[in-house]
Amino acid sequence: MSVEQHDDFRKRRSDVIRTHLRNDPKIRAGRRRMRVRFMLGVASYTVVLAVTLIFAKSVTMAIHDARSYRLMVAPVIRDLPDTHIGHTLLMPDPISTQISAFLRPYINAGTREHHAGGHGRIVTDTRQTVPLSLQDQN
Protein backbone atom coordinates (compact mmCIF):
# COMPACT_ATOMS: atom_id res chain seq x y z
CA MET A 1 0.00 0.00 0.00
CA SER A 2 1.39 3.38 -0.95
CA VAL A 3 1.47 6.37 1.41
CA GLU A 4 -1.42 8.08 -0.43
CA GLN A 5 -3.54 4.93 -0.29
CA HIS A 6 -2.74 4.47 3.37
CA ASP A 7 -3.73 8.06 4.19
CA ASP A 8 -6.92 7.70 2.14
CA PHE A 9 -7.73 4.42 3.91
CA ARG A 10 -7.24 6.00 7.36
CA LYS A 11 -9.47 8.92 6.40
CA ARG A 12 -12.28 6.63 5.15
CA ARG A 13 -11.91 4.41 8.21
CA SER A 14 -12.17 7.37 10.62
CA ASP A 15 -15.23 8.65 8.70
CA VAL A 16 -16.91 5.24 9.04
CA ILE A 17 -16.06 5.00 12.74
CA ARG A 18 -17.37 8.55 13.34
CA THR A 19 -20.62 7.74 11.48
CA HIS A 20 -21.13 4.56 13.47
CA LEU A 21 -20.40 6.32 16.77
CA ARG A 22 -22.79 9.13 15.86
CA ASN A 23 -25.60 6.69 15.03
CA ASP A 24 -25.03 4.13 17.81
CA PRO A 25 -28.14 4.14 20.03
CA LYS A 26 -26.19 3.28 23.17
CA ILE A 27 -23.78 6.17 22.71
CA ARG A 28 -26.61 8.57 21.84
CA ALA A 29 -28.50 7.50 24.99
CA GLY A 30 -25.36 7.99 27.07
CA ARG A 31 -24.83 11.48 25.67
CA ARG A 32 -28.47 12.31 26.34
CA ARG A 33 -28.10 11.12 29.96
CA MET A 34 -24.97 13.24 30.35
CA ARG A 35 -26.81 16.33 29.07
CA VAL A 36 -29.74 15.68 31.41
CA ARG A 37 -27.41 15.16 34.39
CA PHE A 38 -25.53 18.35 33.56
CA MET A 39 -28.75 20.38 33.31
CA LEU A 40 -30.06 18.89 36.58
CA GLY A 41 -26.78 19.82 38.25
CA VAL A 42 -27.00 23.39 36.98
CA ALA A 43 -30.63 23.63 38.10
CA SER A 44 -29.88 22.21 41.57
CA TYR A 45 -26.94 24.59 42.10
CA THR A 46 -29.13 27.50 41.01
CA VAL A 47 -31.84 26.49 43.50
CA VAL A 48 -29.29 26.12 46.32
CA LEU A 49 -27.80 29.54 45.49
CA ALA A 50 -31.26 31.17 45.42
CA VAL A 51 -32.27 29.62 48.76
CA THR A 52 -28.96 30.69 50.32
CA LEU A 53 -29.34 34.27 49.12
CA ILE A 54 -32.96 34.47 50.29
CA PHE A 55 -31.93 33.10 53.69
CA ALA A 56 -29.04 35.60 53.94
CA LYS A 57 -31.40 38.46 53.10
CA SER A 58 -33.91 37.15 55.65
CA VAL A 59 -31.30 36.92 58.41
CA THR A 60 -30.12 40.45 57.64
CA MET A 61 -33.72 41.65 57.77
CA ALA A 62 -34.24 39.77 61.04
CA ILE A 63 -31.23 41.41 62.65
CA HIS A 64 -32.27 44.84 61.40
CA ASP A 65 -35.84 45.79 60.62
CA ALA A 66 -37.14 46.08 57.06
CA ARG A 67 -36.72 49.86 57.01
CA SER A 68 -33.05 49.62 58.05
CA TYR A 69 -32.50 46.93 55.45
CA ARG A 70 -33.95 49.19 52.76
CA LEU A 71 -31.61 51.97 53.89
CA MET A 72 -28.64 49.56 53.68
CA VAL A 73 -29.36 48.52 50.10
CA ALA A 74 -30.47 51.98 48.94
CA PRO A 75 -26.97 53.04 47.72
CA VAL A 76 -26.68 49.89 45.63
CA ILE A 77 -30.07 50.12 43.93
CA ARG A 78 -30.29 53.91 43.72
CA ASP A 79 -29.47 54.01 39.99
CA LEU A 80 -31.34 50.85 39.02
CA PRO A 81 -34.84 50.96 37.54
CA ASP A 82 -37.64 49.10 39.33
CA THR A 83 -37.69 46.41 36.64
CA HIS A 84 -33.97 45.58 36.97
CA ILE A 85 -33.16 42.11 38.33
CA GLY A 86 -30.77 43.54 40.95
CA HIS A 87 -33.51 45.78 42.29
CA THR A 88 -35.89 42.84 42.47
CA LEU A 89 -33.35 40.59 44.21
CA LEU A 90 -32.19 43.10 46.82
CA MET A 91 -35.49 44.63 47.88
CA PRO A 92 -37.55 42.88 50.58
CA ASP A 93 -39.99 40.38 49.17
CA PRO A 94 -42.87 38.55 50.88
CA ILE A 95 -40.91 35.30 51.32
CA SER A 96 -37.85 36.87 52.95
CA THR A 97 -40.09 39.12 55.06
CA GLN A 98 -41.97 36.10 56.42
CA ILE A 99 -38.74 34.22 57.09
CA SER A 100 -37.26 37.25 58.87
CA ALA A 101 -40.41 37.61 60.99
CA PHE A 102 -40.05 33.94 61.95
CA LEU A 103 -36.32 34.29 62.76
CA ARG A 104 -36.47 37.65 64.58
CA PRO A 105 -37.43 36.24 68.02
CA TYR A 106 -34.60 33.70 67.86
CA ILE A 107 -31.95 36.13 66.69
CA ASN A 108 -32.89 39.01 68.99
CA ALA A 109 -33.56 36.87 72.07
CA GLY A 110 -31.75 37.90 75.26
CA THR A 111 -29.37 40.63 74.22
CA ARG A 112 -29.43 43.34 71.62
CA GLU A 113 -26.40 45.15 70.35
CA HIS A 114 -26.75 48.93 70.06
CA HIS A 115 -24.06 50.91 68.31
CA ALA A 116 -25.28 54.33 69.43
CA GLY A 117 -23.39 55.73 72.38
CA GLY A 118 -20.63 53.14 72.58
CA HIS A 119 -18.90 50.74 70.26
CA GLY A 120 -18.44 47.18 71.36
CA ARG A 121 -21.07 47.22 74.09
CA ILE A 122 -24.07 45.01 74.60
CA VAL A 123 -27.17 46.49 76.15
CA THR A 124 -29.38 43.97 77.90
CA ASP A 125 -33.16 44.15 78.18
CA THR A 126 -32.86 45.75 81.63
CA ARG A 127 -30.68 48.50 80.11
CA GLN A 128 -27.51 47.57 81.97
CA THR A 129 -24.38 48.30 79.94
CA VAL A 130 -21.89 45.44 79.86
CA PRO A 131 -18.31 46.23 78.68
CA LEU A 132 -16.84 43.89 76.08
CA SER A 133 -13.20 44.82 76.63
CA LEU A 134 -11.01 45.90 79.53
CA GLN A 135 -10.57 49.37 78.03
CA ASP A 136 -14.30 50.08 78.49
CA GLN A 137 -14.13 49.52 82.26
CA ASN A 138 -12.28 52.78 83.00
Structure confidence at residue 111 (pLDDT): 42
Alpha helices, DSSP H, located in 1-138: 3-23, 25-63, 66-77, 85-90, 94-107
Choice between 90 and 122, residue whose per-residue pLDDT is larger: 90
pLDDT 10s digits, 91-114: 888 999 999 999 988 887 644 544
pLDDT band at 116 (very low <50, low <70, confident <90, very high): very low
For residue 39, CA distances in Å to 28, 45, 116 come to: 17, 10, 50
pLDDT band at 126 (very low <50, low <70, confident <90, very high): low
Out of 5-14, 74-83, 110-119, least confident range: 110-119
pLDDT 10s digits, 8-54: 899 999 999 888 888 888 888 998 999 999 999 999 999 999 999 99
Structure confidence at residue 82 (pLDDT): 85
Is there a contact between 38 and 32 (Cβ–Cβ < 8 Å)? no
Note the pTM of the prediction, 2 decimals: 0.58
First and final C-alpha spacing in the chain = 99
